[in-house]
Each structure stands twice: as C-alpha cells, then as structure tokens.
Amino acid sequence: MGRVLVTGAAGFIGAHLCQALLARGETVLGLDNFNAYYDPALKQARLAALTGQAPAEQFQMARLDLADHEAVLALLRANPDIDRVAHLGAQAGVRWSLEAPFAYTASNVTGHLSVLEAVRRAEGRIRHVVYASTSSVYGSRTDGAFRETDRVDRPASLYAATKLADEVMSSAYADLFGLSLTGLRFFTVYGPWGRPDMAYWLFTEAMLAGRPIQLFNEGRMLRDFTYVDDIVQGVMAALDNPAPGGGHRLYNIGNNRPEQLLDLVAILEELLGVQATRVLKPMQPGDVPATFADISAMRQDFGWAPTTDLRTGLTRFVTWWRAYFGDGPGKA
C-alpha cells in the first residue's frame, strides 16, 4: 500500500483525517501553509497532537503553499510512493471572501489546479483524489434537501464560486486525462479542534467571556451541522472506493438533519452553564438561510451515514474546549 497525501493537514478536518488514517496503519504525508486566517498556534497544536501519535516514518509534514504550483509539482515528484490524495487545503470562510478575495482565488483556484496538474503529471500512479467542495455551491435556498443534480450556477459568495470552479476544473481534468476524482460537498462541519470563525466556536467563546452573541437573520438559520468524525469516515470511505474506470463524481456529505441555530445556542447554554445574551442582526452578504443535504448517493455508493446527533457532538466539543482552554474563553 502506498502513501496518502493530505493537503490542509494542520486544518480542522485535515488533522482529524490524518489521525484516522494513521490509526488504521496508513503512511501519511501532510501539507499545509499554516496561514494566519486564524491563529496558527491552533494549527501547530493540532500538528503536535499528530506527531505525538505517529513515528516519523509513518507521518511527515511539508510546509508549502498550494498556490506555488512548482513546489507542489516538485513534492509529488519527490514522493513517488504517494498513490492517493485527500485534498482538503483551501481558504475557508464565506464572510472573509468579501474582504480578501484574492486569497480565495490563490488558494482555492490556483491551489486546486496545482494539485490537479501534479496528479496528471504523476502518470497514472495516483489512484484516486478526493477533494473538499462545499454546500455553499447551492446558493441561497429554503426549498428542501439539496441534491447533487440541483442547479449550482448562482453561488452566493466568492468562496462558493471558487469551490464551484474546483468542481468544473476537476470534471475537465478527469475527462481529458483519465483521472479518478471525487468531490465532497461538506455541510457545516463542527467538533473538537474546530475553526474559530465558526458559529459554535464564536458563541462558546463569547458566552464564557460574558459577551453577547450575534445571531444573523435574527437567528432564523437552518444548518445541517455535521460532526467531524462522521465527515472523516465519509472521506475515508470515498478515498477507498474510486469510481470503476475513473472519472469525476460529486457527493453531498452532511448530517441530513437541519437544525435551528437557536437550538444550537440552547444546547451550548446547557452545556456551558451560561445564559447567552442575544443580539439579533440581519442576514450577512454571502450567507445562506438554510443548508440541507440529501445523502442518498453517499449512502448507496459507500454505505455511509452520519451517526452523531448535535447534542452529542457539542458535548464532545465542550469537553475538548475545557481540556484545551480551561473554563475561560479561548485565545484563538
């Protein structure tokens, strides 16, 4: 068995995926640029947990920027044992794309193309690439479950537009060069070691600090909150099962059970023992009122379904938070 390249390995989902791959005996090469979108100390702490888990011959880490296509090409040439790629590295966050648009085209468009081109030039030794897309490609909708066959030509943010571009480029590369590529549209992933720009993290931090929380769209938001361990199991199931004969596929990967944002707040209040002070705000540009994954394709093709309900997942997150930060607000 060859080695797995995981891009975004110091990120939230990437670090959890590396941990799961190592636990089943895989050899992993991680890649990350440790950018400062949020405190790099959190990324370093995730990496420290990984390197403490595995011997050096099983897990190695490369620090480089995906937008540096020559460096990505060189990395694949220098590691001929890589036979699968889990491409999770990207500039995340809908709202920041309004402020720093070129960061998104560099990481998500040029960076994705760097991976595709490096895999193409590997001359057939990369058996499968699984990459992260997003539920944001579906745009602003409230009309029920999102299906992979639905229209995605009106993304509500630049972030979503860049991830949609990744899907289109992947389809072209699969057709042109016979690559096996699978895109996973993630739906609101949460859990321990999470991202500090996500609502559940921001609410926890604010509530413990005695600050009010901001509820956009006056809290009338539905999110298909998906626990990170469930996501990782789906990524691994997809990675293990390339399409027969190659080609490009797309799947929703979500909890298939939208939750009210206000219900998330109520659970956090109970777990933290703190009453939240709510500030109701209008909808933010680029945001969407609801996400809802139809996961029938993931279930049919990979036998995958989520198993973690929101209360259980948030309980695990709060337990991690207290172990990492103590009883006070976070510093990330």
Q: Is the pLDDT of residue 10 over 50?
A: yes
Q: 138, 159, 200, 227: which is the annotated catalytic residue?
A: 159
CB atoms within 10 A of CB 166: 25
Residue 258 has pLDDT above 90, yes or no: no
Q: Kindly report the pTM of this predicted structure.
A: 0.94
The structural domains of the chain, with segments of one domain joined by +, span: 3-189+226-256+288-307
Task: Give residue-wise pLDDT tens across range 109-118.
Answer: 999 999 999 9
Q: Say how far apart CA 103 and CA 111 lie, in whole Å.
A: 10
Q: Helix, strand, coil % (nearest 5) of the chain?
A: 45, 20, 40
Q: How confident is the model at residue 320 (pLDDT cuts 50, 70, 90)?
A: very high
Catalytic-residue membership of 200:
no
Q: What is the pLDDT of residues 208-255, one digit of tens each?
A: 999 999 887 756 778 899 999 999 999 999 999 998 888 999 999 999
Tell me the sheet residues that pair with 5: 29, 85
Mean pLDDT, rounded, for 121-146:
90
Note the pLDDT of residue 95: 84
Query: Could you tell me if 184 and 133 are in contact, meaning their C-beta atoms sit under 8 angstroms apart?
Result: yes
What is the C-alpha end-to-end distance of the chain, expressed in Å?
38
Q: What is the pLDDT of residues 264-276, one digit of tens each?
A: 999 999 999 999 9
Above 50 in pLDDT, residue 332? no
Sequence-ordered alpha helix ranges (H) in 111-193 = 111-121, 158-177
Please give the pLDDT value at position 86: 98
In contact, 288 and 217? CB cutoff 8 Å: no
Task: Write out pLDDT tens, residues 175-214.
Answer: 999 999 999 999 999 999 999 999 999 999 999 999 999 8
Does the structural domain 3-189+226-256+288-307 have CATH classification 3.40.50.720? yes
